[in-house]
Structures are given as C-alpha cells and as structure tokens.
Amino acid sequence: MFGGFVSSMEDPKLILEQNIRELNDQIPQMNENIATVKANVVMLSKEVKKYEKMIQEATSRIKSAIQADRDDLAEGYAMQLEKARDNLAQSKEQLKFAEQAYEKSLKVKQAFMREKDRKIRDAREALRASERAEWQAKIADTLEQFEVGGLDQTYDEMMNRLNEQTAKNEARMEIALESVDTDTMEIEANAEKLRAQELVRQFKTEMSGEDSEPAKKKDVEIEEKSAEKSESGKTVGKSRTKT
C-alpha cells in the first residue's frame, strides 16, 4: 500500500526529464574514466620503451666489459640486463591488457551513446505525447463543461426561437399580399395603358392633319393663279377684236 501511494505521488513526466539529465551527466564521467585508461596505456608504453633502452645499454656494456677482460663488470651488467628483460616482459603484458581495456572502453562508450540517444529520443517523444494528451484532456473537459452548463439546450432554444420568428414574418408577408386587391391594380394598370395608347393615337392624328393643311393651301394658290391667267387671256383677246 505504501509503494502504491508513493507511485501515485510520482510524476512520470518529471522522472523522464530527470532520467534525460542523468544520462547526459554520465558522459563527462565516462570520458574521464576513458581518459584514465588511456593514460595507463601511455604510461606503460613509456615503460616498455625505457626497458628496451636499458636492455640495449646493458647489452652494449656487457660486450665492452668482455672486450676489456672485465668479467666482473660484465657480470654486473648481465644482472641489470636480466632484470630489465623481466620488467620489459611484465610491462608489455600490462600494456597489452591496458590497450584492450582502452578499446573496450571506447566500444562501451559508443554503445552507451547509442542507447542514450535512443532513450532520450523515446523519452522526448513520450513527453510530447503526454503534452498532447494533456491538451486533449483540457479540450475534453471544456466540451464536457459546455454540455453540463446547458449550452446545448440554450442553442436549441435559440434556434427554435429564430425559426419561429422567421415563420411568423413569412406568414405576415403572405397575409399582407393576400389582402391587396391585385385584380383592381391590374385593371387600373391596363386602363392607364389604354389611355396612353389613346393619347398617342390623338397625337398621330393631329400631326397628320397639320401636314395636310399646307398641301391644301398650295393647291388653292395654284388654282387661283391659273384662273387669273385665263381671265387675262380673255381680256386681251376682246381688245384685239375691237381694234
């Protein structure tokens, strides 16, 4: 029961973030350990070179002492040579293990880095999914609050009121149109059209009459002139007869 209570108090999001920080914090410590292993390799390499040099020097001194008939000195150098050879063998053996440890530490670091990157990538994706889930939960809570608060009922009520008002206005328009005497309006419109046509016809008649009067005047003048000419011709003929 106590473990379940503690688990309920733990926040997975905070734990994952802490794990990401711990994974990143392990890298400097790992680099320091690898550097220590590398330093051991370098130190043993120097020892191997030192003992190899000591062996060369001891060998040269032994040969010089033998040439100088100093076997006592040659024996001393021979002991130094023997000791240097033993130390060289031990150093080479240690160097071999140190190099293997260094190579293994590099492989461990590479494997750790791959695993670290995978865990961090998965953790961040889980954190993003958690954030999306939190937003979805907030949206769900908001929608539930809308429904609980009676917004659906208010919405339906307002829609019904608006539709009812629209129907009333449409009915009033239909009643208003039915109350208007459209037949009388059509008769009056036709009567006005007939009056307009009659006026146009009268104008046409008057205009045709005005055009015929000047023609009649011209015919009368022509007749009068012809009559005058005939009378004057008759007078002249009588006078000539008298003469």
Convert 129-153 to b/e letters by CB count within 10 Å (16 or more is b).
eeeeeeeeeeeeeeeeeeeeeeeee
SS3 content of the chain, % helix, strand, coil (to 5): 95, 0, 5
pTM of the predicted model as reported, rounded to 2 decimal places = 0.45
pLDDT tier at 213 (50, 70, 90 boundaries)? low
Pairwise CA distance, residues 195 & 189, whole Å: 10
Does residue 36 or residue 130 have the better pLDDT? 36
pLDDT tops 70 at residue 183: no
Domain ranges of the chain: 2-154, 188-230
Q: Which residue has the tokens 């440890």?
A: 101
Angle between helices 12-67 and 71-148 (to 10 degrees): 170
Tell me, what's the pLDDT at 129? 83
Does residue 215 or residue 174 have the better pLDDT? 174
Q: How many CA atoms lie within 13 A of 181 on its CB side?
A: 5
Quote the mean pLDDT of the chain.
77
Tell me, what's the pLDDT at 14? 81
Pairwise CA distance, residues 191 & 185, whole Å: 10
What value does the mean pLDDT take over residues 65-90?
89
pLDDT tops 70 at residue 19: yes
What value does the mean pLDDT take over residues 121-135?
82
pLDDT tops 60 at residue 23: yes
The 3-state DSSP class for residue 68 equals: coil
Among 5-14, 39-48, 124-133, 227-236, whose mean pLDDT is lowest? 227-236
pLDDT tier at 217 (50, 70, 90 boundaries)? low
Distances (CA, A) of 211 to 198, 204, 220, 223: 20, 11, 16, 20
Tell me, what's the pLDDT at 181? 59
pLDDT tops 90 at residue 116: no
pLDDT tier at 236 (50, 70, 90 boundaries)? very low
Write out pLDDT tens, residues 33-66. Answer: 889 999 999 999 999 999 999 999 989 998 998 8
Tell me, what's the pLDDT at 6? 47
Domain 2-154: give its CATH architecture: Orthogonal Bundle (1.10)
pLDDT tops 90 at residue 163: no
Q: How many CA atoms lie within 13 A of 37 on its CB side?
A: 19
